[in-house]
């Protein structure tokens, strides 16, 4: 920890991570409900799918853009564009503009997350990858933890539009810190591997392939919770403001308290695989409990979601630790592909939601049955991973 805290550029990147998390997460769990004010459930699922497909297509050129404009210049442009997109999305009532800028907003957020990870990787040493990644997730999830309380307060007293305007304000200090401290950061020698080349590399490496599948499972869990859990809980009598203000702050605590220690364990003698499989098992059990429990008691749901996030915390931290121990900061295309797993998960979850939209009206818990089966599929790959403790393959 002391070595990490002595790294000035890493500290600045952690500050940027917190600001990004607040911007990203304040409206996160309210966005599907906001879109439902204008569109049907099928169209909302379709918008998430379109946004994710657009993100994947746009990401094909991200490595080239970063090489051309450098990480600092590209990130600075993304932040300016994201401020404009978020505010436009919030203040308009035109359906076409809402849909268009929602898609742009998703693309820009995804690219910002990729750039943050490139900065983190640039300032990291492989021997401390687990601890550095664990602290990264702790800070990121701390922002995600406090954001629903901020968002719930705004929704209770103001409006959805205010939610997005406030979220965009956190990108202003983001601009200050990146301009003051990261302007002259030395760029790594990015490889010329493109997204398709990176995909071929993943498919040829069975351990990388398993890591990608496990992370796809985690992101599918998050996507389902973000898009469908507020809607499902509303059907059993738990309003959005209760969900955001009381349930989520409790549920997200594991994402703050566990990642650093888990990363530290992964740097030691307790391998990533053991933690990975344990986390997936917890996720599977709690997801199937979603189908069984029908209580409208917020405390019961807060505790269930709390336990589920213990599983996702363990799984996500180990997946990222394993991945970034196998690559270097020059692998921008491979990093972009890994970061786009979130987009793939939204396409997957959104497509299922679109296809089964008529059934979900009567049986919304169907999404959690499908998710539980997906997690079991992920476990079948996780147990095949062969990663020696403290592997150093960069």
Sign of the C-alpha dihedral computed for residues 163, 166, 172 and 177 taken in this order: negative
Contact between 130 and 321 (Cβ < 8 Å): yes
Per-residue pLDDT tens for 340-369?
788 888 888 888 888 888 887 778 888 999
From its phi and psi, is residue 70 left (phi > 0), alpha (psi between -120 and 50) or beta?
left
Determine phi and psi for 108, rounding to 5 degrees.
-65, -40
Tens digit of each residue's pLDDT (9 = 90 or more) over 87-146: 998 889 999 999 999 999 999 998 998 888 888 877 766 546 667 777 888 899 889 889
Contact indicator for 23, 167 with CB cutoff of 8 Å: yes
| pLDDT at res. 6 | 62
Answer yes or no: is pLDDT of 18 > 80.
yes
Residue, of 324 and 50, whose pLDDT is higher: 50
Residue 305 lies in a domain: yes
Task: Domain count for the chain, please give it.
Answer: 1
Residue 392 covered by a domain:
no
What percentage of the chain carries pLDDT values higher than 70? Answer: 89
CB-based contacts of 260, cutoff 8 Å, min separation 6: 131, 134, 135, 137, 138
Q: Is residue 393 part of a domain?
A: no
Is residue 388 domain-resident? no
Residue 183 in domain: yes
Domain that holds residue 18: 2-382
> What's the chain's Rg over C-alpha atoms?
20
Residue 387 lies in a domain: no
Phi then psi for residue 11, to 5 deg, are -60, -45
State the Cα–Cα distance between residues 84 and 278, nearest whole angstrom. Answer: 42
Which CATH number fits the domain that encloses residue 126?
Answer: 1.20.1250.20
What DSSP string describes 37-75? TTS-HHHHHHHHHHHHHHHHHHHTTHHHHHHHHHHHHHH
239 lies in some domain: yes
Q: What is the 3-state secondary structure (H, E, C) of 255-272?
A: HHHCHHHHHHHHHCCCCH
CA distances from 238 to 147, 156, 232, 287 (A): 19, 15, 9, 18
Q: Can you give the pTM of this predicted structure?
A: 0.75
Structural domain contains residue 51:
yes
Question: Given this model, what pLDDT does residue 393 score?
Answer: 44
| Residues 287-299: tens digit of each pLDDT | 999 989 989 999 9
């Amino acid at each position: 920890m002391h070595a990490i805290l002595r790294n000035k550029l890493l500290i600045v990147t952690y500050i940027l991570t917190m600001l990004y998390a607040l911007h990203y997460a304040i409206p996160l769990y309210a966005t599907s409900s906001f879109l439902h004010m204008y569109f049907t459930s099928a169209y909302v699922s379709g918008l998430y799918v379109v946004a994710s497909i657009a993100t994947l297509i746009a990401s094909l050129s991200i490595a080239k853009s970063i090489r051309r404009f450098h990480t600092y210049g590209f990130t600075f442009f993304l932040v300016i564009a994201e401020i404009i997109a978020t505010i436009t999305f919030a203040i308009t009532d035109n359906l076409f503009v809402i849909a268009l800028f929602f898609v742009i907003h998703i693309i820009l957020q995804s690219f910002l997350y990729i750039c943050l990870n490139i900065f983190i990787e640039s300032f990291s040493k492989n021997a401390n990858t687990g601890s550095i990644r664990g602290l990264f997730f702790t800070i990121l999830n701390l922002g995600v933890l406090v954001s629903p309380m901020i968002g719930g307060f705004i929704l209770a007293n103001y409006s959805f539009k205010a939610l997005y305007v406030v979220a965009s304000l956190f990108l202003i200090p983001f601009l200050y810190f990146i301009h003051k401290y990261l302007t002259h950061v030395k760029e790594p020698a990015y490889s010329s591997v493109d997204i398709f080349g990176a995909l071929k590399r993943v498919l040829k490496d069975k351990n990388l392939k398993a890591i990608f599948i496990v992370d796809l499972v985690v992101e599918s869990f998050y996507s389902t919770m973000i898009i469908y859990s507020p809607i499902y809980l509303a059907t059993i009598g738990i309003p959005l403001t209760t969900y955001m203000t009381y349930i989520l702050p409790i549920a997200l605590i594991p994402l703050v308290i566990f990642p650093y220690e888990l990363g530290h364990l992964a740097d030691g003698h307790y391998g990533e695989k053991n933690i990975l499989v344990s986390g997936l098992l917890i996720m599977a059990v709690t997801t199937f409990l979603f189908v069984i429990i029908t209580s409208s008691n917020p405390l019961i749901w807060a505790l269930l979601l709390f336990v589920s996030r213990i599983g996702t915390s363990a799984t996500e931290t180990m997946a990222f630790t394993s991945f970034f121990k196998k690559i270097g900061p020059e692998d921008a295309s491979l990093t972009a592909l890994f970061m786009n797993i979130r987009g793939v998960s939204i396409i997957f979850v959104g497509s299922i939601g679109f296809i089964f939209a008529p059934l979900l009206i009567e049986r919304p818990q169907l999404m959690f049955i499908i998710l539980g089966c997906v997690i079991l599929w992920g476990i079948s790959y996780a147990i095949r991973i062969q990663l020696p403790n403290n592997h150093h393959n960069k």
